[in-house]
Structure 1
């Protein structure tokens, strides 16, 4: 990571913002569960920039968590990132929330990242960690508990992270992380966004990841 980056996370019931510089965390704040993101995110950005003694013109880029997650939260986060990007005249990128979760943990085996969706379904994907963050090895999708269990059966062991892991019956080979990491962190959003730009630049504007309609495709690929 080079320069100052602003990270925005609004995809779950706990949102947050973070300011990082050259890979080091300057300030991070997570919002109370009961507070709405629309009431907290912009004041949070202003407060953290003041705390970190950073001016908007010093910021190299903005990274926002793109989902899947709360539809309302996604729209608020993306709109905020786009508005700040336009107002400050700097680039912005979006980072998949499942990748943010997987990149939060250090593991020598694959990482199952999963977020509660609805009923018995979860948003999930499997990643391997690398120097550029988590690399996808099982694609993101809407999975039932039974279908994701079949998808991870090939792995000797796997680390599970995210709110959706509680909906799945795990075998002994699944390692559960500290619940602290079940919420995506805005500092990881900022870090991954900066790495993404180092690889491909500000190639696409921030866009939400909904994964709607993906569950039928996933189910058809599960034996």
Structure 2
């Protein structure tokens, strides 16, 4: 089994190759550059360096959102195309779950991955590792950062916050949670594509034709268009 994992859902771009329980290779950047231009060369370079060809792949695992509308769409489109062309399974994993998986494995408490959604909002969810497996405590959602912090403060448990956007919301979180809030180090804030591959390794493949990203909310342009048409969101 050789899995190709693809994550372009946020600024961090990541691809990885996993064979059984061995990470063959991994490529990550955290740059504000066009993923549509960079993702295929990244995949090709990784495949070449790991001496693999497309016919060696047995599964595609992709970050399905939430995150950047355009970024999510790029990754999902490429993943669907590869899975359909190679006739292999496609699995989608929450972009927030990927972020929580790495550092959360070593934290005795709750894990809240954070992506900034502008205007004081965040994409987030709540996870906890139980018996070595990452469990969903609160599903992925779009919420005001201050409201989310207030909700977590009522749980009376330590919460590990993870993500490159923490600096935007750290002050609000600290005001509400105080010492209950734990913040990841900068080396833990990039979602690892190898974690993505591991999360999708044993999951059942989804129908390529009906597979869709999880944007959580409509893109702003879509929302404005629907509003102009007098349609209810």
Length-normalised TM-score, structure 2: 0.83
Give 1:144 shift: 0.9
Q: How far 1:133 sits from its partner (Å)?
A: 4.3
Alignment map for 1:139-154 (pairs within 5 Å)? 139-153=139-153, 154=155
Correspondences of 1:14-163 after superposition (within 5 Å): 14-31=12-29, 33-105=31-103, 106-130=106-130, 133-153=133-153, 154-163=155-164
Which position in structure 2 is the counterpart of 1:220? none
| Structure 2 counterpart SS, 1:128 | strand
Aligned residue number for residue 219 of structure 1: none
Query: Are 2:179 and 1:212 aligned?
Result: no
1:132–1:11 CA distance, 2 compared to 1 (3 A):
farther
Once residues 107 and 27 of structure 1 are traced to their aligned partners in structure 2, the CA distance between those partners, rounded to angstroms, is: 26
In 1, are the aligned partners of 2:110 and 2:157 still within 8 Å (CA)?
no
Runs of 4+ in structure 1 deviating by more than 6 angstroms, as ranges, are: none
Do the aligned residues in 1 keep the contact of 2:112 with 2:159 (CA within 8 Å)? yes
Q: Does 1:191 align with 2:198?
A: yes
Q: Secondary structure at the match of 1:152?
A: helix
Using the size of structure 1 for normalisation, the TM-score is 0.86
The answer on whether the counterparts of 1:17 and 1:45 sit within 8 Å (CA) in structure 2 is yes
Give the number of equivalent residue pairs: 207
Distance in 1 separating the partners of 2:45 and 2:97 = 27
2:209 paired with 1:202: no
Corresponding residue for residue 5 of structure 1: 3
1:102/1:113 contact within 8 Å kept: yes
Segments of 5+ residues of structure 2 without an aligned counterpart are 219-233
Q: What is the aligned partner in structure 2 of residue 169 from structure 1?
A: 173
Indicate the SS of the match to 2:100: helix
What RMSD over aligned residues (CA atoms) do the two structures have, in Å?
1.7
Q: Which one of the candidate residues 170, 179, 185 is aligned to 1:178?
A: 185
In structure 1, the gaps of 5 or more residues are 214-223
Per-residue deviation, residues 94-133 of structure 1 (Å, max 9, x unmatched): 1001111110112111111111111111101110124674
1:91–1:51: structure 2 CA closer, same or farther, 3 Å change rule?
same
**Quick check: which has more Rg, 1 or 2?**
2
Q: For 1:107, what is the secondary structure of its paired residue?
A: coil
| Residue in 2 that maps onto 1:216 | none
Q: Which residue of 1 aligns with 2:224?
A: none
